[in-house]
Amino acid sequence: MKNIKDYNLDELKEEFINLGEKPFRAEQVFKWIYEANVTSFDDMTNLSLELREKLKNNFTMCIYKIIKKQESSDGTKKYLFDVLDGNAIETVLMDYKHGKSLCISSQIGCKMGCKFCASTGIKFERNLSSGEIVEQVLAVQRDENIKISNVVFMGIGEPLDNYNNVVNAIKILNNQKGLSIGARHISISTSGLVPMIYKLAEENLQSTLSISLHATTNEKRSEMMPVNNRYNIEELMQACKDYIKTTNRRISFEYALAKDNNDNLEDAKRLVNLLRGMNAHVNLIPINKIKDGKFEKSSNESIIKFRDYLNSKGIVATIRRELGTDIDAACGQLRRKNLKE
């Protein structure tokens, strides 16, 4: 059966027309799902019993079960969701002054193989559908009785490797008749799938693009991120420049600092050269050491020096607050895949 959350509003209207229903009914259903966040077609009380039956016969609601929920001492919460086929994914809720931010997964597993990331340790199973991506937001809103204001595609998976479903999920999240999460409050983070960056630039989405750069020479970047062997730094930076030109949006560069690896002044100087003249922001992430990983976190002193150097050269750089480390919910720590683990 089809997952009703896989459809954006226009597509849902089409589905309804094909079922012999009026398009405005699709809009009613859309509101029940995304505004009221109901868990059953029976709760959609302004629809006839007959229509509710028809919907039940044609669609599932895709309601996640919470397998596990952990809370960090800093208030960050990590969910392990049963995605209803024996697989499980992680989603992280962060409480910021400016609102509730949800870090969501886009795939079950990841193919990118970044050496410093725990998600690399899990076998790639499959893409999440748009509805499965969006249900992470709905499930957390139901559980906590809150409204999510920011969504970041920084959980498990490479969002641009699941391009169509991610873009459609953004359209659903963004729709004013539903969750109404402003596109500017949605960030996609990519390890650098260059052709998809060009494609994304054409979507006119207004969402934020983050690039996981992490190194300033091809040698070092390839060592950390195998994707660099496919699309090197020069190709990546060209795609970013074109993206900024086409979209008029700033790009955020993520740079995870690993001790004696990519955190010295030479690296900072090369980073300044790479970003010169670009409308960019640098997000410095103290790297989280993963089990059996070779990269160690840089010292606070090196991180601050790195930031200050970038700032002194006119590049806006901030240090990402480490949230949820004690429950393995911080950057690069998400890994749960199946129910048995």
Angle, in degrees to the nearest 10, between helices 23-34 and 9-18: 130
Residues 188, 12: Cα–Cα separation, whole Å: 25
Nearest approach, Cβ of residue 86 and ligand SAH (Å) = 23
CB neighbours of 309 closer than 8 A, spacing ≥ 6?
A: 265, 268, 269, 272
Interacting residues with ligand SAH (CB under 6 A): 112, 114, 116-117, 154, 158, 189-191, 212, 254, 256, 285, 287-288, 290, 331-332
Note whether 303 and 257 are within 8 A (CB): yes
Q: Which of 103, 110, 114, 331 is catalytic?
A: 331
Q: Which is nearer to ligand SAH, 30 or 116 (by Cβ)?
A: 116
For 241, counting Cβ atoms within 10 Å of its Cβ (0-12 exposed, 13-18 middle, 19+ buried), the class is: middle
DSSP calls for 113-140: --TT-GGGGS---EEPPHHHHHHHHHHH
192: left (phi over 0), alpha (psi -120 to 50) or beta: left
Which of 90, 132, 158, 254 is the catalytic position?
Answer: 90
Residue 341 CB neighbours (<10 A): 9
Q: How far is the CB of 50 from ligand SAH (least distance, A)?
A: 44
Instruction: Provide the minimum distance between the beta carbon of 125 and ligand SAH in the complex, in angstroms, as a whole number.
Output: 15
Q: How far is Cα 70 from Cα 328, in angstroms, rounded to an integer?
A: 10
**DSSP H helices in the chain:** 9-18, 23-34, 49-58, 130-144, 163-174, 194-201, 218-224, 233-247, 265-275, 300-312
Minimal CB distance residue for ligand SAH? 332
- Please classify residue 340 by burial: count the beta carbons closer than 10 Å to its beta carbon, then call 0-12 exposed, 13-18 middle and 19+ buried: exposed
Cβ distance to ligand SAH smaller for residue 27 or 223: 223
Query: Helices (H), strands (E): how many in the chain?
Result: 10, 14
The β-bridge relationship of strands 251-257 and 280-286 is parallel
- Return the number of the residue (6 or 254) whose C-beta is nearest ligand SAH: 254
To the query of whether residue 90 is one of the catalytic residues in this protein, the response is yes
Does residue 158 carry a catalytic annotation? Answer: no
Nearer to ligand SAH, 12 or 110 (CB): 110
The residue among 54 and 259 lying less far from ligand SAH, judged by its C-beta, is 259
Nearer to ligand SAH, 86 or 113 (CB): 113
Minimum distance of ligand SAH from residue 188's CB (angstroms) = 8
Active site residues: 90, 331
